[in-house]
């Protein structure tokens, strides 16, 4: 059995430019860092909210093998229907009562070791709080169901940094890695916690640059100037920022041995 598993995990992939960014950088970083598997958060995949068959096919062709979601993943396509029609390995927010059983978590075998990916939704400042249960008690429940001898990665999709940080510390030593998504801004706190769990508050997004969370900057600036609701729109041409995290996990201890943020601006 190989000693370690190397994982490339892209943050929120936002719209057309986000998908282009993954298609350009996934093969480059996979070769450069000799990664074993690629994961991506796809809650914003199809024009910033939800996913479709076509946009998921693009990610599959780019080499993404496991997908995580968030509070917007249901916007374009009902996941119950998606679960029946496709075999994509999606870990949707397991603490959302709309989550199909098929998407509570995903397990694959890499380097003779199981890898488990779980997605949770935070509740502070988040939409749909009535459908979202406590992520801390939900992860305790899920950890009783997943394979015991496995590398376990948690995507905590949350607005508040406190939700993410607290969960990381709560799970330190019990899972391999806890990373955050949703805010689209990469944080500078990649670290290994005291008991060996890798941690990063937010991976950041893959999308338009410069923009405000992937949305045309003029639209969001106008929104703040006028204090009115404005239809969001995403650029489909221009520069792209690509944010990901590179993880190295020991296949025997299931602890993170290295965690590093990756960022590139491409034309």
CA distances to 189, 196, 239, 250 from 214, rounded to whole Å, are 22, 33, 11, 34
- Which two tokens mark 173? 């030593």
Cis peptide bond N-terminal to 111, omega within 30: no
E strands, 96-193, in order: 106-110, 113-121, 150-157, 177-181, 191-192
Catalytic hit among 33, 47, 72, 128? 72
Tracing tokens 């993170």 back to the chain, one arrives at 256
* 72 annotated active-site: yes
Strand pairing partners for 67?
A: 40, 90
* 124 backbone φψ class: left, alpha, beta (φ>0; ψ -120 to 50): beta
Give yes or no for a contact between 136 and 100, defined as CB atoms under 8 angstroms apart.
Answer: no
- 77: which residues sit within 8 A by CB, 6+ positions away? 50, 51, 52, 53
Which residue is listed with tokens 């969960």?
167
DSSP state of 266: E
- Positions annotated as catalytic residues are 72
């Amino acid at each position: 059995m190989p000693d370690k598993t190397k994982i490339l995990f892209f943050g929120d992939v936002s719209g057309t430019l986000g998908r282009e960014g993954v298609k350009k950088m996934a093969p480059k970083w996979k070769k450069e860092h000799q990664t074993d598997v690629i994961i991506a958060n796809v809650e914003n995949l199809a024009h910033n909210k939800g996913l479709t068959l076509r946009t998921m096919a693009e990610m599959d062709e780019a080499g993404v093998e496991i997908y995580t979601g968030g509070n917007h993943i249901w916007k374009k396509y009902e996941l119950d229907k998606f679960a029946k029609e496709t075999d994509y390995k999606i870990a949707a927010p397991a603490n959302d009562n709309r989550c199909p059983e098929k998407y509570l978590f995903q397990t694959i075998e890499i380097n003779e070791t199981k890898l488990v990916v779980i997605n949770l939704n935070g509740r502070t400042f988040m939409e749909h709080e009535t459908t979202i249960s406590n992520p801390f008690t939900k992860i305790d429940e899920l950890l009783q169901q997943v394979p015991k001898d496995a590398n376990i990665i948690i995507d905590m999709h949350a607005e508040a940094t406190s939700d993410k940080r607290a969960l990381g510390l709560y799970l330190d030593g019990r899972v391999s890695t806890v990373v955050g998504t949703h805010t689209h801004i990469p944080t500078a706190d990649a670290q290994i916690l005291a008991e060996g769990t890798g941690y990063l508050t937010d991976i950041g997004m893959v999308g338009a640059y410069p923009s405000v969370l992937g949305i045309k900057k003029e639209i969001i600036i106008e929104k703040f100037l006028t204090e009115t609701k404005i239809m969001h729109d995403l650029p489909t041409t221009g520069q792209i920022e690509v944010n990901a995290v590179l993880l190295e996990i020991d296949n025997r201890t299931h602890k993170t041995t290295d965690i590093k943020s990756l960022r590139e601006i491409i034309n």
